[in-house]
């Protein structure tokens, strides 16, 4: 089974279901996908490593990200992600790791800038909230969304150049991830949040009606 999605302005063809991403309206040939995600074996080491931190190794055009006890992923040339899951890992944890970490490793290999940020449509452009984890990016995005500003992306922003050489933020996927105390601050009716993964209090809400699916200039 192959699943196809649109995310960050790219077509993704995946052997792994990633239901929080936007399904592609019309299927394309796998060879025409920008990114391919497949099951496979990922090595523990890389030859000629040029960057190495806990959970991350990179050489020229190849990187391995590890999150024990969930999976290892190998990103190659910004086009292919090989996923090597732990034998008994649950699907939710695996999906979260692929979207939050595996896809980011691929984006870092493509032409563009990857920021840890949320983005909203504001007028005819987008504003970004750039900050470290748990600083409140998603909370700000949710609260401004209640004031009528659609969400462009949450957690990861991918910046590219348009035909005029101007920076634009590409649309991510229609979901927000919030802690329970932040969810309690929301005023309007939102979809029922579900667990992001077992053992974690953080929740995810899929919000297609609050999502802006087109790239926007950064204002």
Tokens for 25, please give them.
């309206």
The sign one gets for the Cα dihedral 23, 24, 25, 28 is negative
**Residues 77-128: tens digit of each pLDDT:** 999 999 999 999 999 999 999 999 999 999 999 999 999 999 999 999 999 9
Strand partners, 51: 58
**Residues 139-178: tens digit of each pLDDT:** 999 999 999 999 999 999 999 999 999 999 999 999 999 9
User: What is the SS3 assignment for 31?
Assistant: helix
Q: Token pair 């999605």 is at which residue?
A: 5
More confident residue, 187 or 108: 108
**Residues 121-147: tens digit of each pLDDT:** 999 999 999 998 888 899 999 999 999
Q: What is the pLDDT of residue 109?
A: 97
Tokens for 172, please give them.
């991510």
The answer to whether 155 touches 137, Cβ cutoff 8 Å, is: yes
């Amino acid at each position: 089974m192959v699943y196809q999605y649109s995310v960050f302005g790219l077509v993704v063809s995946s052997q792994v279901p990633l239901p929080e991403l936007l399904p592609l309206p019309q299927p394309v040939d796998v060879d025409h996908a920008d990114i391919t995600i497949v099951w496979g074996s990922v090595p523990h080491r890389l030859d000629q490593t040029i960057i190495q931190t806990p959970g991350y190794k990179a050489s020229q055009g190849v990187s391995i990200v590890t999150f024990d006890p969930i999976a290892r992923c190998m990103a190659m040339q910004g086009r292919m992600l090989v996923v090597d899951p732990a034998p008994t890992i649950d699907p939710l944890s695996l999906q979260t790791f692929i979207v939050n970490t595996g896809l980011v490793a691929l984006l870092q290999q493509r032409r563009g800038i990857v920021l840890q940020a949320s983005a909203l449509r504001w007028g005819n452009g987008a504003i970004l909230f750039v900050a470290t984890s748990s600083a409140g990016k998603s909370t700000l995005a949710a609260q401004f969304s209640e004031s009528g500003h659609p969400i462009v992306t949450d957690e990861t922003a991918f910046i590219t150049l348009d035909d005029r050489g101007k920076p634009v933020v590409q649309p991510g996927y229609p979901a927000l991830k919030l802690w329970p105390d932040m969810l309690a601050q929301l005023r309007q009716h939102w979809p029922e949040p579900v667990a992001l993964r077992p053992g974690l209090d953080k929740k995810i809400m899929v919000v297609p009606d609050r999502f802006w699916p087109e790239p926007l200039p950064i204002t």
